Amino acid sequence: MAEVLQLEIVTPERLVEKDTIEQIQIPGKNGYLGILPGHAPLITELGVGEITYTADGMAYYVAVAWGFAEVLPDKVTILAETAERAENIDVERARKAKERAEERLRSASGEVNYQRALVALDRANVRLQVAEKKR
Amino acid sequence: MANILDIRRRIRSVRNTRQITKAMKMISAARLRRAQDRALSARPYAQMLTNVLKSLVSRAEIFDPETGEPRHPLLAQRPEKNILVIVVTADRGLAGAFNANIIKAAFRFFAANEGKIVDIEAVGRKGRDLFRRRFPTATPEQTERAGPVQTVGEHIGVLGKLSFEYVRDFSEGVIDRYTKGEIDSVYVIYNEFKSVIAQRLIVEKVLPIEEIGEQTVAQAEEVSKEEREKRAEAAQAAGISLGEADTREMDRRAAAFATAQVDYLYEQSPGELFRNLLPKYVAVQIYRSMLESIASEHAARMTAMESASSNADEMIDKLTLAMNRVRQAKITKEIIEIVSGAAAQ
């Protein structure tokens, strides 16, 4: 059985991450999934959340907002709309986005706007959370 | 005959202009290279998304097995009465006929669809300025349409630093209008960019989706041979490769995504996955067309500046020649005066 996983994180803008890892947790739409080498083939949608993985015994954190993952026994490929490693997150921007989203939530008119503001708030929160974990 | 001082002044001014056009050419070449890279790095994502969707089509029974009708609104064809057109121009000029050509194509498209209601989303300042002069602009307060053709949105200054998030929000708005039935189809008019010499001005249909992974081109126009040669020359001078980049390795890896010959476990039902993925596919299409338009813009500007520089060269040569001739004539005249003066004594 495979001992490691190949990880690839791809966004529309670029290839974010390519690494050999020991284990990974991904934010599935219906809850977090922990994946070890040799996992059964799986396809899942990702929600807004954080990806945690370990490579060479070190933990890494990546914030994602909506994505899609394919898991194979020796490989994990993640398509994410946005993916940022903890150290690359612009905390100031995330904080501003959060304030904006909160503002919109208070004044939102209509169901759609409300939903969108909620999603935006979610995204900003995750970014802030992940950013705190940077070394 | 013009005097030497005037000509000299003229030469100096042309030389200054040439310096500027040369600098602009170099800048455009650098930006073109960056734009090409960005367009390239958007490819794996687009292809992977397409793969997943294709493999889901069969599993999720997207098409009704009996009638063959699609079950997803973004796939359904309806009679075209209201059209949304996204016209992608540049924010800045000095790019030869780049903006003018796109706008011309847009007007041809309007003419071909006369009698239908057309909404314009203008991307880029140049297009926006022109449409605003020609057509009324929709305002949130208005209850009635101002005319058969009107601009409904503008996107200025986003092309310089295009982010996918921006395009996603934009396309969500478009999809929203489409599912509500406010519009029956969506087209993008832009300058396609495969390489410096392989470019087309096309009108592409993004909604409804006719076939996943296939481009639906409603109207296309090749670049003239003469223009292509000029571009090739400019690119060579700037050290940019002419061919399409080698993406085979990248494509092969992307093609393997979600198509392994195994039975996948699906966390969500294929139908649900499909529904959620399809809007992203539309966003990616629009994003790609904007990236390609940006690359084309820089290529066009580079070419324009290259020919401006060579025109300046030519002009300087001509003026220098004229100046020398005037100077020579003056000297000759002086000698004649001296000689005839001496002869008279």
| Record: contact A77-B48, CB cut-off 8 A | yes
CATH number at residue B304: 3.40.1380.10
Is the previous residue joined to A27 through a cis bond, with omega within 30 degrees of 0?
A: no
Range of the domain at A122: 89-131
pLDDT, tens digit, for every residue of B180-196? Answer: 888 889 999 999 888 87
Residues of A in contact with B49 (CB under 8 A): 68, 79
B98, B299, B304, B305, B306 from B94: Cα distances, Å: 9, 12, 7, 8, 12
| Chain A residue nearest residue B37, CA to CA | A14
B208, B75 Cβ separation under 8 angstroms: yes
A110 has a chain B CB within 8 A of its CB: no
Sort B234 into a burial class: Cβ within 10 Å, 0-12 / 13-18 / 19+. Answer: buried
Residue B196's pLDDT is what? 79
Assess whether A78 and A93 both reside in one domain.
no
Give the chain B residue nearest A113 (alpha carbons): B173
CA angle A51, A52, A56 (to 5 degrees): 140
| Confidence check: pLDDT of B237 > 80 | no
Domain match, A23 and A40 both:
yes
Q: Do A73 and A2 form a contact (C-beta atoms < 8 A)?
A: yes
Provide the terminal-to-terminal Cα distance of chain B, rounded to the nearest Å.
31
Chain segment B62-104, per-residue pLDDT in tens: 666 666 667 777 887 888 888 899 999 998 888 888 888 899 8
Domain that holds residue B115: 15-235+270-308
Residues A29 and A74 in one domain: yes
Q: How far apart are CA A26 and CA A5, in angstroms?
A: 14
| B323 within some domain | no
Q: Which residues of B touch A72 (CB under 8 A)?
A: 260, 262
- Pairing state between β B265-266 and A42-46: parallel
Q: Which residues of B295-307 are buried (b: 16+ CB within 10 A; e: fewer)?
A: bbbbbbbbbbbbe
Of residues A110 and B32, more confidence is placed in B32
pLDDT tens digit sequence for A13-39 = 877 778 888 888 888 888 888 888 888
Task: Provide the residue count of chain B.
Answer: 345
Q: Is residue B182 part of a domain?
A: yes
- Chain A and chain B share a number of CB contacts under 8 A equal to 78
Q: How confident is the model at residue B146 (pLDDT cuts 50, 70, 90)?
A: low
Alpha-carbon gap, residue B45 to B162, rounded angstroms: 16
pLDDT digits over B243-277, tens only?
A: 666 666 667 767 777 666 667 777 777 778 888 88
Residue of A37, A14, A102, A70 lying closest to B291 (CA atoms): A14
B163 neighbourhood in chain A, CB within 8 Å: 13
Q: Tell me whether 0.85 is exceeded by the ipTM.
A: no
Answer whether B267 sits within 8 Å of A44, measured CB to CB: yes
The answer to whether residue B8 sits within a structural domain is: no
Asked if A15's CB is within 8 angstroms of B41's CB, the reply is: yes
Residues A37, A96, single domain; the answer is no
